[in-house]
Amino acid sequence: MALRRPMVAGNWKMNGSAQLALELFNKFATKLQDDSAEVVLCPPSIYLESVRQQLDANKDALNGCLVRMGAQNLSQHDFGAYTGEVSGQMLKDSGCRYVIIGHSERRRMYGETSDIVAEKFAAAQKHGLTPILCVGESGPAREARRTFEVIAEELDVVIEKNGTMAFDNAIIAYEPLWAVGTGKSATPEQAQEVHAFIRKRLSEVSPYIGENIRILYGGSVTPSNAADLFAQPDVDGGLIGGVSLNSTEFLSLCSIAMSA
Ligand SMILES: O=C[C@H](O)COP(=O)(O)O
């Protein structure tokens, strides 16, 4: 077993159905072998209950495998007049262990600033959820050689508000915006370079956190490029969008992570 257990997290985004949950668990129940990787499903909130039902129904078949549930977003507030929002406590009550924070689609389309992301990170931990914090640079930022600067800024705001030790209970996902949903993944070398940068930055404050935190890569991961990406020393699995909607391909990513 690697020092850090690989993780494959499926972010369904605004896709999927109760039927997809059923299909995935039918495959997990027969094909997942052991706990050498952790599998996380992040459906839209409305389908959390469907996934939870499948988790319960397949408990015996999944014995020894780690399949867990996450949400795609949460409110930074605990409760109140915030129409359409879902709180950390509600996600915890629904059976979530993880929550994706600061996905580029939320930063870009819903005006989530790094300060809001830092507040959501705190809210997740307050309610016993593990944040999966997304960071990543745009195409123009990469072309302008600002990748490390952007990643450092996104990380530092969360560190300033929450402290480095908060990363003892967190996952980071490096998702370059130019690779999300484009079919153009980062190369293994590009991913490794940024993952090593993130790990080093955290290690400077806490070598323990740096060594133990899991850093996932996200952006056009498929069964054909996953083995090379997951084999990089600082890549601990993937945050998967499109392919998480295809039960056969998603399972194949899980198997690749299990043997990484
Ligand atoms: O959260 C997942 C990412 O945005 C990656 O999406 P993708 O695998 O469709 O590129």
pLDDT at 243 over 60: yes
Domain 7-258 has CATH 3.30.360.10: no
The answer to whether 242 is annotated as binding is: yes
CA distance 90 to 96: 9
Please choose from 175, 225, 250 the residue to mutate so as to test ligand 1's pocket, defined by most ligand atoms within 8 A of CB. 175
Share of the chain above pLDDT 70, in %: 99
**Interface predicted TM-score (ipTM):** 0.99
pLDDT at 44 over 60: yes
pLDDT at 83 over 80: yes
Q: Tell how far the Cα of 208 is from the centroid of ligand 1, in angstroms.
A: 29
Q: Tell how far the Cα of 89 is from the centroid of ligand 1, in angstroms.
A: 26
- The closest alpha carbon to 36, from 75, 63, 64, 15, belongs to 64
Give catalytic residues, as residue numbers.
Answer: 103, 175
Q: Tell how far the Cα of 220 is from the centroid of ligand 1, in angstroms.
A: 6
At 226 the three-state DSSP class reads helix
pLDDT at 149 over 80: yes
DSSP conformation class of 246: S
3-state secondary structure the chain: CCCCCCEEEEECCCCCCHHHHHHHHHHHHHHCCCCCCEEEEECCHHHHHHHHHHHHHCCCCCCCCEEEEEECCCCCCCCCCCCCCCCHHHHHHCCCCEEEECCHHHHHHCCCCHHHHHHHHHHHHHCCCEEEEEECCCHHHHHCCCHHHHHHHHHHHHHHHHCHHHHHHCEEEECCHHHCCCCCCCCHHHHHHHHHHHHHHHHHHCHHHHHHCEEEECCCCCCCCHHHHHCCCCCCEEEECHHHHCHHHHHHHHHHHHCC
pLDDT at 98 over 90: yes
10 forms bridges with which residues in the sheet? 41, 240
Taking the CA of residue 100 as reference, the ligand 1 atom at the shortest distance is: 1
> What is the mean pLDDT of the segment spanning 233-240?
98
pLDDT at 207 over 80: yes
pLDDT at 2 over 80: no
The mean pLDDT value of the chain amounts to 96
Share of the chain above pLDDT 90, in %: 94
The answer to whether 10 is annotated as binding is: no
pLDDT at 114 over 80: yes
> What is the mean pLDDT of the segment spanning 197-210?
94
- Position 171 scores a pLDDT of 98
Instruction: Considering only residues 33 and 144, tell me which one the structure prediction assigns the higher pLDDT.
Output: 144
pLDDT band at 154 (very low <50, low <70, confident <90, very high): very high
Tell me if 176 CB under 6 Å of ligand 1.
Answer: no
Q: Tell how far the Cα of 241 is from the centroid of ligand 1, in angstroms.
A: 3
- Position 260 scores a pLDDT of 85
pLDDT at 113 over 80: yes
Tell me if 240 CB under 6 Å of ligand 1.
Answer: yes
Taking the CA of residue 180 as reference, the ligand 1 atom at the shortest distance is: 10
CA distance 21 to 58: 12
> What is the mean pLDDT of the segment spanning 193-220?
96
If you take atom 6 of ligand 1, which residue's CA is the nearest one?
A: 241
User: What does the domain layout of the chain look like in residue ranges?
Assistant: 7-258
pLDDT at 82 over 70: yes
Tell me if 251 CB under 6 Å of ligand 1.
Answer: no
Is the torsion defined by CA of 3, 69, 226, 164 positive or negative? negative
Q: How distant, in Å, are the alpha carbons of 118, 153, 200 from that of 247?
A: 33, 36, 35
Please choose from 240, 245, 252 the residue to mutate so as to test ligand 1's pocket, defined by most ligand atoms within 8 A of CB. 240
Radius of gyration of the chain (CA): 17
Question: For residue 225, what are the contacts with CB-CB under 8 A and spacing of at least 6?
Answer: 185, 188
The number of beta carbons lying within 10 Å of the beta carbon of residue 52 is 17
Q: Write down the pTM of the prediction.
A: 0.97
HSE-CB at 32 with a 13 A cutoff on CA atoms is 30
